[in-house]
Amino acid sequence: METLKETIETSVMPVQSSVIKQWSISVVLMVCVVLAFFDKISIAVLFSDPVFQEAMGIGTDKTRLGWLMTSFLLAYGFSSIFLSVVGDLINPRTCLLVSVASWGVLMALMGLATSYEQLLWLRVLLGIAEGPLFALAYSIVKQCYSAGQQARASTMFLLGTPIGAALGFPITAFILGRYGWQMTFFVMAALTLVTLAVVYFGLRGVKLRAETRVSGSRQRVSWQQHMRNSRLLFTTPAFWAVCIFNTALLTYLWGLNGWLPSYLIEEKGVNLEEFGALSSLPFIAMLAGEIAGAFLSDKTGKRAAQVFGGLLIAGLSMYLVLQIEDAVLAIAAMSVSAMSWGFGVSSVFALLARITPAEVSATAGGIFNGFGNFAGAAAPVLMGYIVTRTGDFNLGLLFLVLVAVFGSLVLVPLVKKY
């Protein structure tokens, strides 16, 4: 099967001035991802604040509270798919600066909101503004790092996800308890100014472009050329296989994040106050798996085999959790599952880079990330529906097992070649 990489000549990697300068690019991207997750999850802390609920006229209506998160995720997914194309036509550094700046403006406006409707629309706009982030980060990594460095570079900015989630909740809760709900948004807006400076100075002098080599000379890609390249991308089975795999990958992640505490309490009888450290082990293991997987992936170059094996073992290990009665052993099995997931995800962007050319990097990354986030947003709802209808929490986790196994098997045809 002829791949896009074999059909379209890729652009030449820019040479960085130093090792520190080169790897600082991924650190800059990680800072952006950390802030984005602050913005994404901080609203959840306010769900239990009666002052915020009264100010927004929500009361105790959990459905309206839930829409503040769901509206963001849906807008984020649409934006990731349909707006990430801009990163292929405009310098990705410029796109990133504009995107981050808009986050700060929107967070400040949220602090000034006086009604639920205002806040809901601002959350939708925030989702639109943040949607292209991962596609832009992926495009920058692909331009600045060689094929043998891309898994480590991608993992560095992906680490912003667990770091952002781990720091966002306690920081928001601290500010809320002392200064009120409005200040949580104003502090996020202030952090955006810091991030904006990090992006501006951190990427200054880095040779990024929306141009590529066409017929041996550097030319800006026209809209017509981009559409031709995109049509070729859309007819490549390997690209869609990786997209389907990513939907399974993120369904596992958000399903686990959404229901892990409730599952351990209701099904395994875990007292989270007593076993707080144990219940965090799956996420610590996930982080360790991402780091180890990044180094191994760049060393071996076996991208498809690694991501296939990581998600498959994650699913099978999760099935063992359903068979174990002892809470500590169940958490241990869940930690193995989470570590395997992290091991696989560390190479998924590098695999995408092997399959797609630089000319449509942002478009490919946007579709890849957008569909995955749509699935991820639906996972907690689907699992909740299954548990509610059947009364069996194990069947909810069995859903994750089946998704993980099916998603990994989709990559079987790619394992030998990539």
Cβ(38)–Cβ(188) under 8 Å? yes
Cβ(341)–Cβ(310) under 8 Å? yes
**Torsion sign, CA atoms 350, 352, 357, 363:** negative
Mean pLDDT over the full length of the chain? 78
Cβ(406)–Cβ(343) under 8 Å? no
**CA atoms within a 13 Å half-sphere pointing along the CA-CB vector of 371:** 16
Cβ(295)–Cβ(342) under 8 Å? no
**Cα 350 from chain centre:** 15
**H or E segment and range at residue 212:** strand 211-214
Q: Say how far apart CA 109 and CA 145 lie, in whole Å.
A: 37
| Residues 207 and 246 reside in one and the same domain | no
Q: Say how far apart CA 185 and CA 103 lie, in whole Å.
A: 11
Q: Say how far apart CA 37 and CA 48 lie, in whole Å.
A: 19
> What is the number of domains present in the chain?
2
Closest CA to 126 of 99, 146, 144, 152: 99
| Residues 262 and 405 reside in one and the same domain | yes
Closest CA to 39 of 102, 116, 98: 102
- Structural domain harbouring 153: 4-228
Partnered with residue 218 across adjacent β-strands are 213
- 374: CATH: 1.20.1250.20
Residue 252 lies in a domain: yes
**H or E segment and range at residue 148:** none
Among 176, 210, 228, the domain-final residue is 228
| Residues 13 and 147 reside in one and the same domain | yes
Q: CB 118: neighbour CB atoms within 10 A?
A: 14
**Torsion sign, CA atoms 76, 90, 247, 318:** negative
Q: What is the pLDDT of residues 87-97, one digit of tens each?
A: 667 778 888 89
Cβ(272)–Cβ(281) under 8 Å? no
Q: Say how far apart CA 296 and CA 416 lie, in whole Å.
A: 17
Q: Say how far apart CA 12 and CA 135 lie, in whole Å.
A: 19
Q: Say how far apart CA 381 and CA 383 lie, in whole Å.
A: 5
pLDDT digits (tens), the chain, 418 positions: 444 444 333 334 444 456 667 778 888 899 998 888 787 767 766 766 788 888 888 776 666 776 787 778 778 878 877 776 676 677 788 888 999 999 999 999 999 998 999 999 999 999 899 988 887 887 788 777 777 777 778 777 777 877 776 677 678 778 888 898 999 999 999 999 999 999 989 888 676 665 343 334 445 555 555 566 666 667 678 888 888 898 999 888 877 766 775 677 678 777 645 545 566 678 778 888 888 888 888 787 788 889 999 999 999 999 999 998 888 888 899 889 989 998 988 888 788 878 776 666 666 777 777 778 777 777 777 777 787 778 788 888 899 999 999 999 998 988 888 7
**CA atoms within a 13 Å half-sphere pointing along the CA-CB vector of 67:** 11
Q: What is the pLDDT of residues 176-192, one digit of tens each?
A: 888 989 999 999 999 99
Q: Say how far apart CA 33 and CA 123 lie, in whole Å.
A: 17
Cβ(333)–Cβ(320) under 8 Å? yes
Among 205, 228, 251, the domain-final residue is 228
Alpha helices in 47-159 (DSSP H): 50-56, 62-82, 86-89, 92-111, 116-130, 133-144, 150-158
| Residues 317 and 199 reside in one and the same domain | no
Q: Say how far apart CA 81 and CA 307 lie, in whole Å.
A: 22
| Residues 186 and 312 reside in one and the same domain | no
| Residues 351 and 274 reside in one and the same domain | yes
**H or E segment and range at residue 213:** strand 211-214
| Residues 359 and 260 reside in one and the same domain | yes
Tell me, what DSSP letter sits at residue 146? -
Residue 125 lies in a domain: yes
Among 196, 228, 260, the domain-final residue is 228
